[in-house]
Structure 1
Amino acid sequence: MNVKIDPWSSTNIVDYSKLFEEFGIMPFDDLYPRIDNPHRLMRRKVIFGHRSYEYVLDAMQNKEPFAVMSGFMPSGHIHLGHKMVMEEIIWHQQKGADAFVGIADREAHSVRGISWEKCRDTGINEYIVSLIALGFEPHGHIYFQSSSDNVKDLSFELGSKANFSELSAIYGFTGETSVSHMVSAITQSADILHPQLEDHGGPKPTVIPVGADQDPHMRLTRGLAHKMNMFKIEGRENKDGQHYFSIRSKAAPQGALEELHDTIPGNTKLFEGHLDVLGADNFEELLRTVRDVELRYGGYAFVPPASTYHRFMSGLQGGKMSSSIPESHIALLDDPREGAKKVKRAKTGGRISLEEQKKLGGEPDKCSVYDLLLFHLLEDDQELLQIHEACVTGQRTCGSCKNLAAERMEKFLKEHQEKRELARERLDEYCL
C-alpha cells in the first residue's frame, strides 16, 4: 500500500482489499452466515474483516467464556466514529461476553500531551457517560490505564518481549519518538490481553472491535501473546507420513514438560526441550491441556486476541472522520439543531446539476450523508436499500437525503443527550 497504517494519524484508507493481501486480515463475509441476529454493521458489511474471530464465534455459540475489549483515547470530543465501536462492544456484551472498556489516558498524555486531569474529565464526562447511555451494562469493566494495576504490571512484563526494532517496523517509530510514546503502545497490548488474566477468569477468546487503522496494535499484541506463552505447539509429520504434534518449550520451568508427559493420554515421547504427541486427533483438547499446565506453572497461556475491523465513516467534508478534525464529524454532545445543520452542509455523492443527477444518478458510496444513514440513522435495511436504488437511478435528489438525515440526526442527538443525563446518575454503579 502507498499509505502506512498509523493509529495516530488522520490518514484515510481507500482500498480495504489491500489489507487482506498485505496484512493477513481475513474477510468477514465467510463468518457472517454463522452469526445469530447480527449487528447492522455486520449486515451492511461495514465490518469487513477479522483476525481469528471464528474462535470467538465458537465460544459464543457453545456458551463458553469469551470477552470483548476496546479502548478510547480521551483526546477530543466523542463522535459518531466512537459510537460505532461502543455499539459493537455492547452487542458482544449482550451475546454473553465479559466486556472491557479502557480509557487510554496514558496514550493521550504521552502522544497528545493532554494533562491527567483533562484526560479523566474527558474520559468520564464524554466517553463513559455516552457508553452507559448507549446501553453498556454495569457488570462490564470500565477503567483508566493509569489506575489499572493489572494493565500497568502486564505492560511491564510485555515490555521485556518487545524491542525498538519491532516497534519501529510496526509503527514507524524513529530515534525522535519519545519513550513514553513507545510505552503507551505496549500499554495498548496490555489493555488487549488483560481480560485473560487470572483476575478475570483466565485465558479465553477475546475480540477487539477496531477501525482498520488500529491493526498495528493487533499485530504487535498477537506477537507478544505468543512470546509470553511457555509452549508452542507445532504440527509435524514423521518419515512414515504419520501426523503428530510437537510441544516445544520456550523457557518453561523445569518439570512442566514432564507434567505434560504424565497428563496427556496416549503415545507421548519426552525429549529435552520438547514433547512429541502421536495419535492425538483433537487439537483443541490438547491445547486446553497445555494451557492448564502452563497456568499451574505461573504462565499466562494467552489465547491470541481476535479482532473485527470496520470501514471508516466518511468525514462530513470528505476523507476520514476524526476527533482531531472538528469539521469532519458530528460530536455526540453537539447541539441537536447544530448537528442537523452540519448534515445539511455535508458533502454528498450527488452530481453537479439536477439534470445530470437525473440522467446519471448519484453516487451513494461516495456520499457522507448516505454514510450517516448506513452507519447510524436507519435500522431498516429495506428502507436503506430503497434509498440507495433511488439515488443511483436518479430518482432521488441530495436534498431529500439531507433532509431525512438531518431530521434523524437531530432526533438521535436529542434522545442520546437525554439518556446521558440518566446515565450520569448511574456512574456509581460502574466502579470507576
Structure 2
Amino acid sequence: MTAENEFTVTPYSVDGEIDYEKLLEQFGADQLSDDQITAFPDPAHPLVHRRVFYAERDIDRFLSAVNAEKPHSIVTGRGPSGPMHIGHVLPFYFAKYLQEQTNALVYIPVSDDEKYFLKEMSLEVIGAHTRENLLDLLAVGFDPDRTRIIVDTADGDVVYPLATAFAKAVTQSTIEATYGEPANIGLSFYPAVQATHLLLPQLIEGRHPTLVPIAIDQDPHIRICRDIADKQRYDVDKPSALLSKFLPSLAGPGKMSSSDDAPSILLSDDRETVFEKIRTHAYSGGQSTVDEHREQGGDPERDTSFQFLSYFFETDDERLERISQEYRDGSLLSGELKDIAAENIADFLECHQERRSQLGSLVDELPAYRLTDAERNRARHRVGFLDNGVF
C-alpha cells in the first residue's frame, strides 16, 4: 500500500521511509494505548513499553484472558526464504517471553509453501532453508509442552483440509482488493492457509483469545482471517493482533531485509562479523566530524545503532536513556555508539548460537513440537473432515 508515493507496505514488498501514523490510517488499526501497555504482565517487554509494537487489533480480549489466567495462545510464524537475521527472530523471543510470563500456548507456522509461490526458488532450496530456520526457532528455547510448530508442506493433513474450508469464505475480488493481483493461484489461495495458521490453536484447544504479534506489513493476513472468523460456524474468536514497526536496515530507516544492498546481521554471524557490519554499514545520526559532533551532538532517532539498542538489544531503560543523552550532547561519538550496539548484538547472538549448538538433529528435536495425532484429528473434525476409516 502506498502513501503519496513515499513508501510501500504490503506482505510482499516494503520500500521507502515509512510513516507509521499514515500506515495506521490506511490499515485501520488502532494505536496501542498506555492502558493496554499497563495491562501486559509486569514487567512489560521492551518491545511493548518502548512502542516497537505500536498498534493493535482487538487486543483487550487477549489481555483480559491473560490477567484472569484463562486460556490464551500466541501465533507467530516464519517464511523460510533464506537465513534468519536479527529482525526475523525478535517476535519469537517476544513470544517466548510471554510464554514464560503467562504460560501461553505458542503456535509457530512455517509457510514454506508461500515462499515457493512467491520466490524464484526450487522446493529443494526452500526445504534447506526450512531445516536451518527450524533449528534457529528451536534455539529460542520454547517450552515443548506448550509449543507447536507446523510446517505447511509437512503438515498438509491438517493445513489443507482447514484451508479448504476457509477458502470458500473468501472471494477472488477480496484477495485482489487486499493484496493486488496475485502472481499465481498459489498466492490467491495462501490467505486461506494463513487463516488456518491463526485459527488452529482454537480449532484444537477450543475457543479462546489468540494474539498474533507480527510486523505491520503482515496485517492484511490478519484482516482476511478476522473476516473468515466472522463468517464461519466453527465457534472461534477473531484473532487479536499486535503490530510492530520494522527493525531498521543498516542503511537507515526502513525494514531490515536479506535482499537489501546493505547486509543484514544474520543469526549465524560471529562477533568479528557483527562489528565489521555495524562499523562499516550502520547509518549514523551523528555529525560529519568529531568537532562538529562534540559541538552539535547526534540524533539517536535517526541512528541505526541506537535504534537496534532501543528495539531489543539494550533491556536496561536507564542505560538506554543515558546513551541517548550522551549521544545528543556530543559526549558519545558515533563510533562509540556503534561499538556498544555491536557488543550487545554479538553477546545476544553468541547465546543464541550456543543454544543452537546444543541441539541434536531435527529428527531428534522436532517431534516434541509437532502436532499429536489427537490434535490433528480435533482440528480436522472441527471443520467437518471426519476420520471415517478410509484415510
What TM-score, normalized to structure 1?
Answer: 0.79
DSSP 3-state at the match of 1:162: coil
Q: Find out whether 1:22 has 2:30 as its counterpart.
A: no
The structural deviation recorded for 1:335 is: 2.8
- Matched residue, 1:35: 40
The structural deviation recorded for 1:5 is: 2.7
DSSP 3-state at the match of 2:15: coil
Q: Contact conserved, 2:138 with 2:356, CA < 8 A, in 1? A: yes
Of residues 378, 386, 402, the one that matches 2:314 is 378
Q: Contact conserved, 1:5 with 1:216, CA < 8 A, in 2? A: no
Of residues 104, 107, 116, the one that matches 1:100 is 107
Of residues 272, 290, 297, the one that matches 1:361 is 297
The structural deviation recorded for 1:428 is: 4.5
Greater Cα radius of gyration, structure 1 or 2: 1
Distance 1:376 1:341 in 2: 20
- Matched residue, 1:312: 246
The structural deviation recorded for 1:11 is: 2.0
Counterpart of 1:388, as a letter, is S
DSSP 3-state at the match of 1:147: coil
Summarize the alignment of residues 104-143 of structure 1 with structure 2, pairs less than 5 Å apart. 104-125=111-132, 127-139=133-145, 140-143=147-150
What TM-score, normalized to structure 2?
Answer: 0.87
Q: Contact conserved, 2:14 with 2:217, CA < 8 A, in 1? A: no
- Summarize deviations over 1:351-390 as a string: whole Å, max 9, x none: 1222222232211111111122112321111100100111
Counterpart of 1:401, as a letter, is L
The verdict on how the C-alpha distance between 1:400 and 1:4 changes in structure 2, with shifts beyond 3 A counting, is closer
Summarize the alignment of residues 2-401 of structure 1 with structure 2, pairs less than 5 Å apart. 2=4, 3-12=7-16, 14-30=18-34, 31-36=36-41, 37-94=43-100, 95-125=102-132, 127-139=133-145, 140-148=147-155, 149-173=157-181, 177-197=183-203, 200-228=204-232, 299-318=233-252, 319-325=254-260, 327-345=262-280, 346-401=282-337
Q: Contact conserved, 1:340 with 1:409, CA < 8 A, in 2? A: no
Q: Contact conserved, 1:192 with 1:305, CA < 8 A, in 2? A: yes
The structural deviation recorded for 1:421 is: 1.0
Counterpart of 1:99, as a letter, is V
Distance 1:7 1:101 in 2: 18
After superposition, the CA RMSD in angstroms is: 1.8
Distance 1:328 1:52 in 2: 36
Distance 1:326 1:137 in 2: 37
The structural deviation recorded for 1:181 is: 1.4
The verdict on how the C-alpha distance between 1:308 and 1:172 changes in structure 2, with shifts beyond 3 A counting, is same
Distance 2:80 2:106 in 1: 19
Q: Find out whether 1:408 has 2:353 as its counterpart.
A: no
Structure 1 range deviating more: 101-110 or 367-376: 367-376
The structural deviation recorded for 1:312 is: 0.8
Structure 1: runs of 5 or more not aligned: 229-298
The verdict on how the C-alpha distance between 1:204 and 1:225 changes in structure 2, with shifts beyond 3 A counting, is same
Structure 2: runs of 5 or more not aligned: 372-391
Aligned residues: 357
DSSP 3-state at the match of 2:358: helix
The structural deviation recorded for 1:13 is: 5.3
